[in-house]
Amino acid sequence: MLQSTIKIGISACLAGDKVRFDSGHKKSNFCMDELANHVEYKKFCPEVAVGLPIPRPTIRQVRVGDTIKVCRPDGTGDVGPKLTEYGKRVATEQTAELSGFVFCAKSPSCGMERIKIYNEAGTGNTSEGVGFFAEQIMAHNPLLPCEENGRLNDMHLRENFVMRVYTYKHWQTLNEQPITVHRLTQFHAQYKYLLMAHNYEAYRNLGNLLGTFDGEDINALANEYILGLMTALKKPASRKNNANTLMHLQGYFKKSLTKIEKQELRDAIDEYRKGLVPLYVPLTLIKHHLKIHPNEYLAKQVYFDPYPNELKLRYGI
């Protein structure tokens, strides 16, 4: 799956820029030392962008009546409106080229979820806020894969985010030319088993969506399809679903493998299902058989290589 350069938005502090309130940073080793070998980053620090200095007093979200301010602990210096306006501007003017975004967790401007909202007295808080900048990026770009740096420490969430970034980039590349039913159907065919591993119901529903298209509005069809695909892929694939998908793939070799080879593959899938080996073990075996017994349809399946193998993302899931 050849693609042009993948670009990802990132909170500047995660890229190692010393833009935090204390003149420090929160460099993400995964993003900058591993993923950076395969993507380009576009850095954003909304707090600096709206005029806050480095260093600067800390800011927090504070509930005042029915509104939420983003201000200093003493209630002064509200930059909430500026952060919202900046977020809207970036979301509408600078995200079309992006295939993903990594936000800084717990930040009142960049956090995706569970941001602390304090009461006016500063004596209590609830973890129900969303960073003002991140909220605008996500609201205006519902298809854009987004994740926080802390959650990327979870191997399953890390793998899922990168997979969605590469999927979305593939979709963006597809849309560089006018969408046709044929091209959309071909795209879906490539994602059949990846989709099956994440959400079997969505796999069936999206297949039916394409199969029953009446030819009226191809753009509306494409929009409904990609929303369904990206939504289905957002939840990491379970071990059970992956094992079932592997068994479907095994079926393509039932006439070409020896009895011993079939048993070996069944054992590898079963060991994966039981959590004894990671996903790459049965996948590697299937890819080995695919080289010996070529199948054009299987060879195009994104499920086998949804991102560069050098990232080793399937070694831990």
Same domain, 225 and 268: yes
CATH number at residue 139: 3.40.50
On whether residue 17 sits in a domain, the answer given is yes
Interval 89-127: pLDDT, tens: 999 999 999 999 999 999 999 999 999 999 998 888 999
% helix, strand, coil for the chain, step of 5: 50, 10, 35
Alpha-carbon torsion angle 153, 159, 164, 166, nearest 10: 110
Same domain, 231 and 139: no
Same domain, 164 and 297: yes
Using pLDDT thresholds of 50, 70 and 90, give the confidence band for residue 215. Answer: confident
Using the predicted structure, report yes or no on whether residue 2 has a pLDDT greater than 80.
no
> Most distant CA pair in the chain: distance in Å?
74
Domain range enclosing 245: 154-317
Same domain, 169 and 144: no
pTM of the prediction?
0.95
Which are the contacts of 129, defined by CB distance < 8 A and separation ≥ 6?
A: 61, 68, 108, 111, 114, 115, 116, 117
149, amino acid identity: N
Provide the number of structural domains found in the chain.
2
Query: Facing residues of 70 across strands?
Result: 61
What's the pLDDT at 124?
86
On whether residue 62 sits in a domain, the answer given is no
Same domain, 234 and 89: no
Interval 34-48: pLDDT, tens: 999 999 999 999 999
Q: What is the CA radius of gyration of the chain?
A: 22
Interval 299-312: pLDDT, tens: 999 999 999 999 99
